Each structure stands twice: as structure tokens, then as C-alpha cells.
Chains A and B, each alone.
Chain A
Amino acid sequence: MPVLWIVAVVLALGGAGYVLGRMRALASADGDARHLHSLPNYYGAHVFLAATVPSLLLLVIWLLVQPLVINSQVSHMIPAEAVSEGSSIGLVMADVRRVADGLDAAVTAGAMTQEQAGSIRAEFSDIRQRLGEVGVALGSDVRPEVLKAAQRYRVLSGRYTLFLTIAAIGLSLAGLAYAWARSHKDFRARNVVESAIKSLLVMASTIAILTTVGIVLSLIFNTVEFFRLYPVTSFFFEPTWLPSFGGGTDSDGNPLSKLGILPLLWGTLYISLIALAVAVPIGLFAAIFLSEYAGAHTRAIAKPLIEVLAGIPTIVYGLFALLTVGPLLVDIFGEGGMLGVGWMQGGTAVMTAGLVMGIMLIPFVSSLSDDIINAVPQAMRDGSLGLGATKSETIRQVVLPAALPGIVGAILLAASRAIGETMIVVLGAGAAARLSLNPFDAMTTVTAKIVSQLTGDADFASPEALVAFALGMTLFIVTLGLNIFALYIVRKYREQYE
């Protein structure tokens, strides 16, 4: 029975349970709801939850575990010599699953009977063609052992799905019966239902932790895998980034690709520095003007307008960098440009990406600094003005020093944004990894290389693809560190005045 049907049946049982439980509770109180401990609906909800929640939980766990169990039972059928050079047992198992799915599709389409699908032999008939007819494309001919494994796979998954159906519906019925039997006027249904709902709420709140765990695990496993194929020291200290197309190793067994992170880190830092050099002065002065000088009217118009810059998707900035800012800069700094300096070869450069990213970061700096400047107590300003300082002297010598830790926090948050930004650098910074000081050279960043290494055709088990996870790990740790540090500074500062 397909999973959707199981879910539907379980839900239907739950619905029936709701009605039955409510009726039984009311009957035990002779139809007078005032004699019940809880409102009648709670008795219904109690039976509904008992009939559905355990059963659906079982379903989810079963579906997660079943492929693992079947894999381990089937994979020993594949002899070691069937796994060809450059392939792995995982790839062969993927083939097995595809053939099994194909056989299922063939049976559904009526091209094969259930019996044929179970007994067909690769030696005697062309499986690939027959599956192709029902729309299942296979990359290569099916080897006999793969077909046998696929048939075994089908048998096992069919058997387990039957078990699952029986178990899920049985559990649902058992829960229904148990809860129904407990539905009595003295039963505290509301307390039970509420604690069940509360545990659902707790589960929802742990999703955040699960996400973090998922991120960390997926990064760690693949990073460890990468470092098994590629030396750690070369990754961190080699000054070249030059992935070779086919991958492979030289005669000494060293990988041909040179995957040093230094040029990428340099590009990332350089672009972020330019972005901050644009965003910090503009954002900070805008925040000072809006919080200290501007009237309520100007503030009400200008502040939301600047914040619009933060709501624009980064793909828009990326396109703006690639198609507007890049060509404009080439016209000025390029060969035969307005300045006649010829510093810039193409539109994609550190400067292009940095400038556009700076525009994107202005609202981050300005809104956060604005909040922090507003949090400085008015008494400090009044004291300074009362001593005869001008407004600007008050701001520079009293307000800004008091707000400094918070502003530093805001700048650090903006820096973490800049380091993790992807679309602007993918489109605007170029693809060449180099260690250069010229801001008009094309360079590349950690994020841009994550994208290019994972969207290419590289084999997933090769160091060329796995390096993206090591890069992601570096990125995650750096931005996480910056964020925690920034939040720490901001929090610490806020406590001073509240």
C-alpha cells in the first residue's frame, strides 16, 4: 500500500476515533457535558491523538530506516569484482535502485507481469530496452548480478512495506481502542491532550537545533572525506587554486588539482574590505544624520527608503554588478577609458563586486548603528551641549565613544554578511583565483568557488567536488565566529544603559 494511503487510513481512523471518544465520554456522563472532567472535544482529541501520532511517528522512522536495512541486505549480493574501477558500491546500489524502480514502473504500465518482473533474466532478454519502453532510461546495460539484486530489492521492499502497513494500521487501531476505553467522565482528557500538544511544541522548537546539527554533520562528514583524499596542509597553505578537469593523481599518488584556499580567502577579504570601505562611512554618517539631525518627517521618509536596499534580492545586485557597474568601471579605468590608465581588463573585478556589495550593506550598517545611537541616553547629550559643545562635537566626543562597541558589533555583522555573500561575487567578481593587489583584477571568493565546484559535472566523490564542503566549513566557522563575537559585543554594550 502506498505511503499516502497509509497516512489517509490512519487519519480516517483518527477522525472516527474523535467521534467515538467524544460519544463514549458523553454517554458515561448520561449526555450531560457538565459532569465531564474536560470539555467533550478534549475526549475526542485524546482518541484522535492516540490513534494518529504513534502510528505516524512509526511511519516516519520506518521510512528512514527501511532503505538502510534493505541496502545492507542487498549489497552483499553484489560481488566485489562487479564493482568496476573508478566506481563504488554506492554507485552500483544506485543502479540497483533504479532498475528496481524501473521494474515497478514496468509492472504499473502493464509491460510486465508481477511474475515476469521477479523472474526475468538479464542473460536472456534486453532489460534496458524493455524498461526504456516504459520510460525508464538506464545509462548502461544491466548486468545479471545487478538485476538479481534489483529483484531481491523489490521483494524485500514489497515485504517491508506490507509489514509497515500492518504495523502502522495496527498501532493506530490499538491506540484508538486504548484511548476509547479510557474515555470516561472522570478521565482527565484535557491534561493528557495538553501535554501531548506541548510535546509537539517542544518538537517544533528543536528543529532549529536539528538544522544546526544537520549543517554541522553534513559539513564535517564531507570535509573529513575530502581531507582523506587531499592533504590538509596543502589545502590551507598552498598559494594556488587550480582544479584539474579530470581530477586524477600523478605518478606519486598526489592529486593533480591544486586546491589551496589562500587565493580564495584573499579574494573574499579584499572584496569584503572594499565593501566595508563603501558601506561603513556612508551607513554610519547616514545613521548619525538620521538619528541626530533629521526631523521626524525626513526620518520617516529617508529611513525606509534606505532600508529598501536591504530588501532587494542579491541576484538583482549581482546583475547590477555584471551588467551596469562592471562596464561603467571599464569605461573609466579600462584600456582607452576616461582616465586612460588601462588598469582594468574586464568588467568582473574585485572593485565591481566590492562596490555593489558595499551598496547592499549600507542599510545593515545604518539601521543597526541607528538603533545603537538612539540607545545612548539623552542625558549624556544634554550634558555635553550644556557645557557649550556644538552638536557635532557632542556626537564625535560623547555619543560615538559611548556607542562605539555597538557600532563595532554592527560592522562585524556587516562583515560576516559580506564574507558569506554569494550571488554578487558569482556574477561580479570573476572566476580566476589569484593573489593580486590590483583591485581591478578579477578574483574569486570562497562562496563563488563553492558554487562552481558543486554545480559542475565533477564526480561527487572526487576531491574537486568535496573541496566545496571544506570551503563551506571554513565559511561557516568564520561567519559563526564573527556573529557570536558581534552579538557578544552588542549585548554587553546594551546592558550598560538598560
Chain B
Amino acid sequence: MSDATAGTAAPQPSGSKKGSLLQQDARTKRRNAAESRFKFYGVLAVGTGLLFLLVLLWAIITNGAQAFSQTFVSVQVELLESKLDKNGNRNLEDIKKVSTFGYSPLVQNGLLSAVDQSGAETPLSKGKDMKPILSASAAAQLRDYVIANPDKIGETVEFRFLASSRVDGYLKGRVTRESIARDKNIDAAHLDLVDALLEVGVIEKTFNWSFITGSDASDTRPEAAGMGVSMLGSLFMMLVVLGLSLPIGVAASIYLEEFAPQNRWTDLIEVNISNLAAVPSIVFGILGLAVFIQFAHLPQSAPLVGGLVLTLMTLPTIIIATRASLKAVPPSIRDAALGVGASKMQSVFHHVLPLAAPGILTGTIIGLAQALGETAPLLLIGMVGFIASNYPEGVMDGFVSPNSAMPAQIYEWAKRADPAFYERAWGGIIILLVFLITMNIIAILLRRRFERRW
């Protein structure tokens, strides 16, 4: 049908007498409206998905950014000989006998004199009144310093102590005068004093390195808690996962892709691998608990056990990725190698495997990233519920002594009652996501750089 005839002999829907291509009838309008509605639903769905992503990221960043700043109090502390070393002979054993209780008055008096110097008017006039402003860790920090430098006793030294979590929260807007009305840890007078001290620079908020490098702290000292030790725990776990899952996964894939005969045994292995990829992670935790801890008596909470469990979880991912990249190497490569007299094994290890290596590496990194964020199995093998406050003492110790891991540490903080820990949990998520994003970017770059299309 040509254009010329289109105007006159347009197909007319039966029942409608005056149809025209130029003027849409009601049915066509309805259909077109349905069409644009349908498309709009699609846009809406994609938009909602992206919106959720944005909201999630926004929640993480706004809540977590505060964990990276921390309030400090600068105090001149007079290290009184009469309190710290009564005998005056600088005997380290004697100095160690003074507990942190002996040190707290020194810190509090130091702060009190700073308050006097600043000229701030406050009803708080005793050293003990200063306690709510300072972290409970201040006395321990001072004690460690004195034990390390006994010759400083008798002098006045300037220290930067952590402020208490309430003061920290006040400067970050988490704690307000209304919210502390029934809080017996701090009074409004303290907040007034904090405002005054902030002006003279005794109290300041700076970047919080110790959140990244530090260790976890007990329930009462959220201001001192950090991710450093659990990051090491995660690192040791990832070393185990990498060291086991990469060789085993690659070996298994090579067998299945290049050598395995088509039989029931091979089918069984393949069905198993695809099923393992979909087994809930908590079931792997049960396996780890029953096999590695109950049966094999490996140490509880150790990164070694966590790494073993995560290895079993990561293997299917690595095997699937490796098989895909082995499959992508064209058969002509194998044929050429076999043609010049290489054995089957030589053709695989000398030619196919190097060509598939970038794909294998990418899959491995993505598998590791998954394992790094996995939490549920770690709960069952006991990597939560205690305070990871000690750095491992060496490489062997790092594998077998109890530790936490980044996601387990975040879970631990989320469970604690003090809202100051929530800020830490969000901050921990930022660190975790930075690792994940870095790993994924490396994977993408590797793929872009080395991937070959045949």
C-alpha cells in the first residue's frame, strides 16, 4: 500500500464509522495512554531502585562521617611526685602499684586549672566535677605515659585526652540539653563549660585517626573504640581465603572444564557447586561450628576458622568465574598447542591458563569482596561477643588467636545500648565499603586492561 492510498483507504476498525489517521479515536487514545503508563511504571521502578541506593548511601555517609572526627581535651597535667611515686626512688615496680584511680584526680585537677585560666564562669568548682567531660580512658593514658617515662614525674606535661562520649556527642549534635535532662552521666552545667572551653581551644574536634587504627573498647568507653584490630582480623581471614580458595578453585575448574569426562560423577560435582552457591550463609556457619570447632577442636573466634568457612563459601564463586574464563579461551589455542606436540596438561598449563588468568583474577577479587562483607557465619564461630582489644602478636598469632572481623565488629557495635556506638557502626561501614569499592574497581580495571575478545 502506497502513501497516496493511505489517506483514503485507511483500515477502519469495525463498528467505528468515522475513523481517521489524523484524529485518534477513543480506543487508540486509551491504548496510547496505557502505553505511556506502562513505560512510566518502568521509569518509576528504575527510579525507585536508584532512589533506594541514594537513600542508603546518604544514610551511611551522614551517619558515619561523624565517626571520623573526635573531640579532644588538651590538659596540662602536673605529675605530682607525692601521688605517683611516694618513695621518690623512681622504682618502676612501685610506680606500677598506683592504679588508674590514683591518676584520675591529677587529670581532673589539670582540667580544673585549665577552666580557671579560661575564666569561664561555672558552678563546677571541684576536680570531681570534671569527670563527665573526660573519657574514662584518660587516666589509663596518663598511667601508660608515666610508666613509659618515669623521669617525667614532678613535671607538668601537656596531654590530649579523649573527651567523654557525651561531650563528643554534644559537639556533633547527637546530645542536646533536652536529651540529657534525665542522664545522670552529665549535667547542663558541663555543656555550658564545654562551650566555654571550646572557645578558648582547650576542647577541639579533630580528625580521628584512632578510629581507623585503634582497637575496640568496652561498653562504657565508646569514644575510644576503633576498627584497627578487626581490620587485621579481616586481613588474616582474607589471606586464608585467598591462599586456599584460589588454588583449589582453579584446580577444580581446570579439571571440570578441561579433563572431566561426561559422567554421573561430574554431574554430581556440578550440581553440588551450583547448589553450594545458593546455600544460605548461616548454614556455612553451622558447618564451621560443627566441623571445625566441635569436631576438629580448632580455636574458637580465630581468623583461621573464619577463613576456612569463608573459603568454602567463596569456592563456588571462584569456580564459576574460572570456568567461564577457561571456556572463553578459544579451542584453536588448545588445538595449536596439541598440534605442535604438547600434552593435554601442557596445553592447559602453558597456554590456556595464562590466557584465562585475568578473568580468574577478577572472579577471585569479587569472591574475596563478597567474603569480606559476610557476617552471619562469623557470628556462629564466635567472632563476636568479646572485645577485640589486643593487636595480634605476630603472624601465627594473627591466624589463631581470637579476633573480630570488620562486619562482626560493626554488628557488635550495633547491638550495644549506647547510641554513641551507632555512630561507630556507621563509620565502620564506611571503612568496609571503601575496601569493597576498591576491590571492585581493581577487578573492573583488570577486566578492562587485560580482557581479550576472541
Contacts and interface: CB of A to CB of B under 8 A. Distances in A.
A289 B283 contact: no
Interface string A426-456: 1100000000000000000001001100110
A420 B283 contact: yes
Contact of A286 (B46, B269, B316, B432): B46
A97 B297 CA distance: 11
Instruction: Find the residue from A207, A283, A285 having the highest chain B CB count within 10 A.
Output: A207
A344 B250 CA distance: 51
B57 to A, nearest CB: 9
Interface string B347-382: 000000000000000000000010011111001101
Nearest to B344: A194
Contacts of B316: 208
B411 A205 contact: no
A367 B417 CA distance: 39
Interface stretch (A179-187, A230-238, A259-267, A385-393): A385-393
B52 A201 contact: no
B45 A319 contact: no
Nearest to A302: B46
Interface in B42-60: 42-46, 48-50, 52-53, 56, 59-60
B44 to A, nearest CB: 7
Nearest to A285: B45
Chain B residues touching A, majority SS:
helix
Contact of B280 (A209, A318, A395, A422): A422
Interface size class of B (residues with CB under 8 A): 35 or more
A39 to B, nearest CB: 9
A235 B269 CA distance: 34
Nearest to A388: B11
Interface in A348-383: 359, 362-363, 366
Interface stretch (B104-112, B177-185, B253-261): B253-261
Contacts of B275: 212, 480, 483-484
Nearest to B376: A422
A214 interface: yes
Given A366-B49, A395-B38, A421-B280, A313 B436 contact: yes
A476 interface: yes
Interface stretch (A110-118, A165-173, A246-254, A320-328): A320-328
Given A422-B281, A427-B414, A484-B275, A314 B375 contact: yes
B400 interface: no
Interface string B304-324: 000000001001100100000
B41 interface: yes
A79 interface: no
Contacts of A20: none
A479 B376 contact: no
Interface in A179-225: 190, 194, 197-198, 200-202, 204-209, 211-212, 214-215, 218-219, 221-222
Interface residues of A, number: 88
A145 to B, nearest CB: 22
B276 A212 contact: yes
A312 interface: yes
Contacts of A316: 56, 60, 373, 429, 432-433
Instruction: Find the residue from A197, A212, A221, A363 having the highest chain B CB count within 10 A.
Output: A212
A192 to B, nearest CB: 12
Interface string B323-352: 000000000000000000001110000000
A283 B48 CA distance: 10
Contacts of B432: 313, 315-316
B425 interface: yes
A420 B290 contact: no
Interface string A298-332: 00001001101101111111111011100000000
Instruction: Find the residue from B49, B248, B251, B315 having the highest chain A CB count within 10 A.
Output: B49
Interface stretch (B28-36, B126-134, B224-232): B28-36
A447 B376 contact: yes
B52 A309 contact: yes
A469 interface: yes
B274 interface: yes
Nearest to B425: A319
A293 interface: yes
Contacts of A366: 49
Given A313-B375, A392-B35, A201 B283 contact: no
Given A209-B272, A282-B45, A289-B45, A319 B282 contact: no
Instruction: Find the residue from A67, A316, A392, A487 having the highest chain B CB count within 10 A.
Output: A316
27 contacts: A205-B255, A208-B272, A208-B276, A208-B316, A215-B283, A218-B295, A219-B286, A221-B290, A282-B48, A285-B46, A290-B46, A309-B53, A313-B372, A313-B374, A313-B407, A316-B56, A318-B414, A319-B426, A323-B63, A362-B49, A392-B39, A396-B38, A422-B282, A426-B376, A475-B283, A479-B279, A484-B275
